[in-house]
Amino acid sequence: MDDRMLTRLLDVSAPATTDVDEVDTAVSAVARATRPRSTRRTLTAIAAGGALVLATGTAAAAGPQLLTHLGWFAEASTTQVASDGTQCAQGFRVAATPEIPPSPEALTIARDALLATDLDSIDISGVLEWLEPDVAAAEVVEGEPWSPTAASVEGLALYIALSERVREAVAAEGFDPQSIQLDAATECDGPLTVPVAP
């Protein structure tokens, strides 16, 4: 046997796969179910099963110790200008997803990544572009009409960009990024309460 024979043998060495029509149909169904159809679905995809809460708060000022009405201290926070021209705060913290408990190391890596990020200069332009169709199609969330304002959409984009950054940092160290979620609370242009569907 020669080099060509080895190539042919390698070509046929692949383990067989399930090549039946039903699988094609099932794959199409999974693809349809995965596509986000609204901002709410988008958030579901981002949270990937986690219990994301993006809620309005009543904090008086943004700072490292921003306490939200949800009862937790933000580990990182920033201020925005709401649509009425007032300053408003948005805070974030790293949390464990209930379905996939993370290792302590993964939580530390995620917190370090969050704290190392300058919330005022992180680039959210790509996320804003990505959100555009969802914002345009925003209808009803949890029975409440959502009228996106610049502040609320930018806050959402900041949340998504931060989530990606934190999870990328976790994945880069070999841990499961889906074991980490980012909680967010905002007092900018609420109400914007988006509990993620299971």
Per CB under 8 A, residues contacting other proteins are: 1-3, 5-7, 9-18, 20, 22-24, 26-36, 42, 45-46, 48-49, 97, 99-100, 126-127, 129-130, 133, 164, 171, 176, 178, 198
Question: Which residues touch 7 (CB under 8 Å, ≥6 apart)?
Answer: none
* Smallest separation (angstroms) from other proteins to the CB of 22: 6
Rounded to whole angstroms, the Cα distance separating 28 from 4 reads 37
Identity of the residue, 31 or 118, whose beta carbon is nearer to other proteins in the bound complex = 31
Closest to 67 in 3D by CA, of 96, 93, 47:
93
Identity of the residue, 94 or 128, whose beta carbon is nearer to other proteins in the bound complex = 128
Cis peptide before 191 (omega within 30 of 0): yes
Identity of the residue, 92 or 175, whose beta carbon is nearer to other proteins in the bound complex = 175
* Smallest separation (angstroms) from other proteins to the CB of 5: 6
Contact 75, 96 (CB under 8 A): no
Identity of the residue, 35 or 71, whose beta carbon is nearer to other proteins in the bound complex = 35
- For residue 164, the one-letter residue type is E
